[in-house]
A and B are shown apart, each in its own frame.
Chain A
Amino acid sequence: DAKTTQPNSMESNEEEPVHLPCNHSTISGTDYIHWYRQLPSQGPEYVIHGLTSNVNNRMASLAIAEDRKSSTLILHRATLRDAAVYYCILSRSSSNTGKLIFGQGTTLQVKP
């Protein structure tokens, strides 16, 4: 399974954009990049995913490097509710099990 590397923690001010980086230098051509987050005392929650092109949804944007060896999750205006652990996870499209391998993730602190 290809691995991802994320900073342990980041801080942001409320209502400012947040850029959460993820390195995945051993990514293969069939690996999708997923982001999940885990709010305190809750189960993981899907945020966004992509393969090659940048993606936007109501929660966030995902910017994927041209060589796909890194990606950045962008929260356009952080709120206090966005304080969570953010996980960058690779999943293979050829996989028939859907197993998600969680790392330690990035703990995002949002200051008022």
Chain B
Amino acid sequence: EPEVTQTPSHQVTQMGQEVILRCVPISNHLYFYWYRQILGQKVEFLVSFYNNEISEKSEIFDDQFSVERPDGSNFTLKIRSTKLEDSAMYFCASSELWGTDTQYFGPGTRLTVL
């Protein structure tokens, strides 16, 4: 069964450094998402992406965050200057259609900012 993959599984970085989290969505999916989950808290929506554009972003997704689909398979989340509070699990998801279509989530990348 096709699945969403994410790399790395765990990323440790120093505060102020840039990180890029990578995702490979399911191949025929057109809609891509990033969510994050701070330890012990809810899963929070960050951004949705379609046709090489951001469809919607949350208040969390400020100028320090950016997303890109650099080629036909990868979908990346970049944090330009990490803060301690960016430490969280970051989940990528994809769906074939928008709206109410099922989203398939990756296993997540644990980001630890020291």
**Which A residues are closer than 8 A to B by beta carbons?**
32, 34, 38, 42-46, 49, 87, 91-104
User: When the two chains form the complex, which single residue of B43, B55, B95 contacts A44, counting CB atoms closer than 8 Å?
Assistant: B43
Chain B min CB distance to A88 (Å) = 13
Nearest neighbor of B94 in chain A, beta-carbon distance: A98
Question: CB distance B99 to A92 under 8 Å?
Answer: yes
Bound complex: CA of A83 vs CA of B22, how far in Å? 29
In the complex, what distance in Å separates the CA atom of A102 from the CA atom of B105?
Answer: 14
Main secondary structure of the interface of A (DSSP, over half): loop
B101 nearest in chain A by CB position: A98
Given contacts A97-B55, A98-B31, is CB(A46)–CB(B98) below 8 Å?
no
Q: How many A-B residue pairs have CB under 8 A?
A: 71
| CB-based contact B45/A100 at 8 Å | yes
CA A38 to CA B95, docked complex, whole Å? 18
Q: A38-B43, A93-B100 in contact; A98/B95 too (CB < 8 A)?
A: yes
**23 pairs across A/B with beta carbons < 8 Å?**
A32-B100, A34-B100, A38-B43, A43-B105, A43-B108, A44-B35, A44-B93, A45-B105, A91-B100, A92-B99, A92-B100, A95-B99, A96-B55, A97-B48, A97-B55, A97-B56, A97-B98, A98-B33, A98-B48, A99-B33, A100-B103, A101-B45, A103-B42
* B102 cross-chain contacts in A, Cβ below 8 A: 34, 46, 49
* Nearest residue, chain A, Cβ from B55: A97
Cβ A102 vs Cβ B99 within 8 A: no
With a cutoff of 8 Å between Cβ atoms, the chain A residues found around residue B95 in the complex are 98
A47 to chain B, nearest CB (A): 10
Chain B residue nearest to A90 (CB atoms) is B100
Per-residue CB proximity of B29-49 to A under 8 Å, as 1/0? Answer: 001010100000011110010
Residues 83-102 of chain B, each 1 if its beta carbon lies under 8 Å from chain A, else 0? 00000000101010011111
Top 6 nearest A-B pairs by Cβ distance? A43-B105, A97-B56, A102-B43, A32-B100, A97-B55, A97-B48
Contacts of A100 in B (CB 8 A): 33, 35, 43, 45, 103
